Amino acid sequence: MGTLGEELAKVAAKELTEKLNNTVGRKLTKKVSLPVNIGFIGSVALSAFLARSAYEKDHPEYARYDIDGAGKAGDNVRLVFLTDLHEKEFGKGNKHLLAMIDKADPDAVLIGGDMVIADKSHPGYYEDRVTCSLCTELAKKYPVFYAEGNHEQRVIDENFRNRLEEAGVTYLDNETVDWKYNLSFTGISLDDDQYRPVSPKKPDKGVLDIKVGKRNPERFNILLAHSPLFLKEYASTGADLVLSGHFHGGTIRLPGKVGLMTPQYQFFNTDVVGLKHFNHTFMIISSGLGTHSINLRINNKPQVVVVDIKK
């Protein structure tokens, strides 16, 4: 047996060794578990993000606007505006969407384009079954006016327009129709340059005037123009109200109605949803109904736009 001093030294050494082992073990555990924890948290966050997006995509809501008829509208008129369906179905046969429109009880339904899917990378390919079915059902109850978006402009099959017109839809490809209540509807088909990514070209004033035609200033003129980027140019045509979509609400909506990204790859854009105006022209931008390419919606539910034009 050693001396008392030796025994105390052994005990102290043993305690020190145990403390060191415990400390090193804890550090090793942290090094191993930290990436595992981050990965787990990331997976949970991504799952929640995608689940929220899936929920929003299937739950459209109303966006309601009151617009002054500027002394031109012959009566109070309610319009429903639809855009950017991209062949999306809300229930079988779009029964939920149709029920929302019926509940709104509009005098007419206006459509702003990109209801179909026409893939630019596959010329000649398009899908229109859902769109034609929806328009056929709507035309049984309401006057329906349909303007083109960039997807419709890729559809070279004339049967698409023919099917809609046979169902009773008024198709407006750079055309104007005078309607009751002293309203006129114009559908304008923009050029490819206006849909160019990142830096689209503004429409030429002369070309725009030719496409839109001469406006009657005594009538309340509504312009269906798919892209919302050119309000100033649209206002120069004499439009009282412009109805647009195209940007899908900015995909992920940030505070202040700022869109994270548009289909034309503009980031942090403020022209993605809501009411805008320039001089005496108002523009309503819908967040649309469907998605395409980037199938996400966050803080950005699909919209059935209800416009009440006040006499």
- Chain segment 171-180, per-residue pLDDT in tens: 999 999 999 9
Regarding whether 50 and 143 lie in a shared domain, the answer is no
Total domains in the chain come to 2
Cβ atoms within 10 Å, residue 158: 8
Q: Coil, strand, or helix at residue 155?
A: coil
Of 10, 28, 57, which residue sits at a domain end?
A: 57
Regarding whether 113 and 72 lie in a shared domain, the answer is yes
Regarding whether 238 and 137 lie in a shared domain, the answer is yes
Please report the pLDDT score of residue 11 as a whole number. 46
Query: Is the predicted pLDDT of residue 21 greater than 80, yes or no?
Result: no
Q: Phi and psi (nearest 5°) for 225? A: -130, 115
Please report the pLDDT score of residue 129 as a whole number. 95
Confidence of residue 213 (pLDDT cuts 50, 70, 90): confident
Regarding whether 129 and 96 lie in a shared domain, the answer is yes
Angle among Cα 19, 25, 26 to the nearest 5 degrees reads 90
For every residue of 85-105, DSSP letters joined together read -TT--SSGGGHHHHHHHHHH-
Regarding whether 80 and 50 lie in a shared domain, the answer is no
Query: Is the predicted pLDDT of residue 25 greater than 80, yes or no?
Result: no
Q: Phi and psi (nearest 5°) for 308? A: -105, 110
Regarding whether 269 and 236 lie in a shared domain, the answer is yes
Please report the pLDDT score of residue 36 as a whole number. 65
Identity of the residue numbered 252: I
Please report the pLDDT score of residue 120 as a whole number. 76
pLDDT, mean of residues 156-167: 89
Regarding whether 148 and 39 lie in a shared domain, the answer is no
CATH of the domain at 134: 3.60.21.10
Please report the pLDDT score of residue 170 as a whole number. 98
Domain holding 207, by residue range, is 61-310
Regarding whether 292 and 201 lie in a shared domain, the answer is yes
Regarding whether 145 and 12 lie in a shared domain, the answer is no
Query: Is the predicted pLDDT of residue 308 greater than 70, yes or no?
Result: yes
Please report the pLDDT score of residue 240 as a whole number. 97
List all residues 6 or more positions away from 181 whose beta carbon is below 8 Å from its beta carbon: 73, 74, 75, 77, 107, 220, 309
Q: Which of 70, 84, 91, 81 is nearest to 220 (CA)?
A: 70
Regarding whether 81 and 199 lie in a shared domain, the answer is yes
Q: Count H helices, E strands: the chain?
A: 6, 15
Regarding whether 19 and 53 lie in a shared domain, the answer is yes
Confidence of residue 24 (pLDDT cuts 50, 70, 90): very low
Of 34, 57, 80, which residue sits at a domain end?
A: 57
The pTM (predicted TM-score) of the whole model is 0.86
C-alpha dihedral (90, 92, 94, 95), degrees to nearest 10 = -100
Q: Phi and psi (nearest 5°) for 207? A: -65, -40
Measured CA to CA, the distance from residue 233 to residue 165 in angstroms comes to 30
Regarding whether 155 and 37 lie in a shared domain, the answer is no
